[in-house]
Structure 1
Amino acid sequence: MFKFNRKTFTAFFTILLILPAFSKDFTSRKFLWRGVPGMETQIRDTVLYYCPAKTESPAPAVIICPGGSYHHLGMKHEGFASARWFNSIGINAFVLQYRVAYNEHHYPDQLQDIQMAIHDVRRNAQAYRVNPDKVGVIGYSAGGHLVTMAGAFSKRDTLSALGVSVTESLRPDFVIPVYPVVSMQDDIAHRWSRKSLLGHQWNRPNAVKGWSLLNPWGHAYSQELKDAFSMEKQIPSDMPPVFLLACRDDPVVMYENSVRLDQALTEKAVQHIFVSYDKGGHGFGMKENSSIMLREHWNQKDLLPWLIQIGVVER
């Protein structure tokens, strides 16, 4: 029986807020866990918003993961603003409202959500008018960590254990992390994102806990756990092509996160590009009136040529 608890109330209220503001930005929405036994309480926490491009033939697709420290989601400027731009260049967009720590969700829930989204888009490619061989992911901040996980952990099937019949590849065809959270290492980790993602896994054997001035979050994760989710340590040689963007003056997520990811991609000979700006900060997404968009037009100047280069968009 469906239980209406605090978590489901929060998710339902969030959707009520989103719908009036963004109903013009999407054609339809899907509750990805509907019909999956055992996931009844998760139904309204994970929503895929379909924002189609005006194309007649099957088009490329991108799944957009807003940021928010794995705690909340920037649906407007990182979600639907990005969808509008991708639509303008002929790419079908899907904005993913994935599960976050605000509603008490931690790993592996987020990876399950993005894998379910990739699987759904490919499985319903004909209905969505999508080319299933050109399905990529873009993520901002913590969402950048999530899409990097989607690329690096594509062989880590999290769906079958939930009873989902996996009939499609879970590997994205391209990955776009923008000012991403990358590392869980103490020297550069974005600690709010780390805490939100890993939750109380620090309370397992091989981990210690305790508050101190050097450890204000009160969590000291095991080195094994930090390494397991530090994406600079998890890049496989068959990682999909990557477009990485960051700003040196980022006041939220240390720029060194992207530097280490770039180094890891280079060491594994992964096809990628690292676009770096001296100024731009954090959290600008594709908000048209942000200073970096007005000054750099990074999506048009840097991202579009790369999408053409890797064959996603035709010239």
Structure 2
Amino acid sequence: MPTRSLSLAWPILLLTVTMSARATCQAAEPVELRLWPGDAPGATGDEPTDVPTITVYQADPATSTGAAIVICPGGGYGALAMDHEGHQVARWLNSIGITGVILKYRLGSSGYRHPVMLTDAQRAIRTVRQEADAWGIDPARVGVLGFSAGGHLASTVGTHFDAGDPDAADPVDRQGSRPDLMILGYPVVALATEYAHGGSKRNLLGEDPPEELVESLSNERMVTPETPPTFLVHTNEDEGVPAENSLLFVLSLREAGVPVEFHLFEGGRHGLGLGNGLPDLGIGPDTAFSAWPGLCQAWLGKHGFLDRK
């Protein structure tokens, strides 16, 4: 049977995943890839929880726009909501022609602390850019999307980035880590305020982090004019992560002159994902909140992520 391969172009081959060929009008099956060819920086073991990966959902070649978005599921930096904040989101992105790249980052519950999570997220963005030609991606249209604590990670990537190291031995590290836009769903943002999510803060920074470290990761305080355009969605009824996290970030974006769109829905608990229901928790679809993907799609169009190139 014919086969196709999706591989990372490491100096020493990391992983080549071979899968059955599909008709050219269909997207490839998702493929999970390690972010580093050997141990990840700071790894404390070789269990699955010590190995950050990306799962690549390539958009259908017939409808692909060439854009890609790295997805950071939430879970308080202690778990990962991989289904409704990961795989479902990647499939939605595929439906509008965008390649979805789900990041499995290392967690505080496995003994990791900042900057490990940020390093994983930056590496994911660099990897997508490095593999842009092979994956049919425009390296100038690579965004990041995150929910809850994953929204904190996404907003950290969008406020703590670099242009890459042109002298790095690893070609991935030569790529820049700044996302071209951010999408934040009910995000944890304001770690240095009364609105901080305590569990996320502890898992990220430990029990008694230095005040200056907390300040530097209270990302509404780190916005500059170079922060990427941002789309945010939250609910007024969110008791897990108060909407003030989004509101404070929006105010900072406005003050810095960064393009921003924000939707605050009246009803809805924390952690609704796309708003199409959480059957395992006995939660049905939320008709109002489920409007946000359509609103986001229109916003992505304004920023060139739906243009076929």
Is the structural similarity TM-score above 0.5?
yes
Bucket of the pairwise TM-score, normalised by the shorter protein: 0.7 to 0.9
What is the CA–CA distance in structure 2 between the aligned matches of 1:71 and 1:300, rounded to whole Å?
26
- Offset, 1:168: 1.4
Q: Give structure 1 regions of 4+ aligned residues with deviation exceeding 4 angstroms.
A: 36-40, 162-165, 290-293
Given that 2:268 and 2:289 are in contact with CA atoms closer than 8 Å, whether structure 1 keeps it comes out as no
* Distance (whole Å) between structure 1 residues aligned to residue 302 and residue 257 of structure 2: 17
- CA apart distance, 1:199: 1.9
State how 1:80-229 maps to structure 2 within 5 Å: 80-155=87-162, 164-165=170-171, 166-199=173-206, 202=208, 221-229=209-217
1:276 to 264, 269, 273: 264
Distance 1:85 1:37, change over 3 A: closer
In 1, the alpha carbon distance for the partners of 2:277 and 2:108 equals: 30
Match of 1:265 among 253, 256, 275: 253
- 2:300 matched to which residue of 1? 307
Superposed CA RMSD in Å reads: 2.6
Instruction: Output one character per residue of 1:205-260: Cα deviation in whole Å (capped at 9) or x when no partner.
Output: xxxxxxxxxxxxxxxx4432221110111111111110011111101001111111
Does residue 47 in structure 1 map to residue 53 in structure 2?
yes
Instruction: Please tell me whether the aligned partners of residues 36 and 163 of structure 1 are also in contact (alpha carbons under 8 angstroms).
Output: no
- Choose 221-230 or 38-47, whichever is displaced more: 38-47
Indicate conservation of the 8 Å contact 1:180/1:258, yes or no: yes
Change (3 A) 1:42 1:256: farther
- Equivalent-residue separation in structure 2 for 1:247 and 1:25 (angstroms): 35
Distance 2:29 2:185 in 1: 23
Matches within 5 A, 1:22-61: 26-35=29-38, 41=45, 44=48, 45-56=51-62, 59-61=66-68
Q: How far, CA to CA, are the matches of 2:221 and 2:184 in structure 1?
A: 16
Structure 1 pair 164–47 and aligned structure 2 pair: CA distance change class (3 A): same
1:294 Cα deviation from its structure 2 partner: 3.0
The answer on whether the counterparts of 1:25 and 1:84 sit within 8 Å (CA) in structure 2 is no
Q: CA deviation at 1:33?
A: 2.1
Find the counterpart in structure 2 of residue 213 from structure 1: none
Q: TM-score, normalised by structure 2?
A: 0.81
SS at match of 2:162: coil
Gaps of 5+ in 2: 1-26, 279-283
Q: Which amino acid aligns with 1:48?
A: I
C-alpha displacement of 1:293? 4.3
Q: Name whichever of 182-191 and 237-246 sits farther off.
A: 182-191
Q: Please list every run of 5 or more consecutive structure 1 residues that lacks an aligned counterpart in the other structure.
A: 1-23, 203-220
- Which SS does the other structure have where 1:184 is aligned? coil
Please state whether the residue corresponding to 2:288 is helix, strand or coil: helix
Aligned residues: 272
Per the alignment, in what secondary structure is the counterpart of residue 145 of structure 2? strand
Question: Structure 1 or 2: larger helix share?
Answer: 1
Aligned match of 1:248: 236
Which stretch of the first structure deviates more once superposed, 180-189 or 95-104? 180-189
Tell me the percent identity.
33
Whole-angstrom CA distance in 2 between matches of 1:43 and 1:124? 26
Q: Retained in 1: the 8 A contact 2:65–2:306?
A: no
- CA shift, 1:128, in A, is 1.5
Q: Distance in 1 between matches of 2:158 and 2:272?
A: 23
Distance 1:142 1:273 in 2: 20
- Give me the TM-score of the superposition, normalised by structure 1: 0.79
Contact 1:241 1:270 in 2 (8 A): yes
Q: CA offsets, 1:65-92, max 9 Å, x none?
A: 0000011100000000101100000000
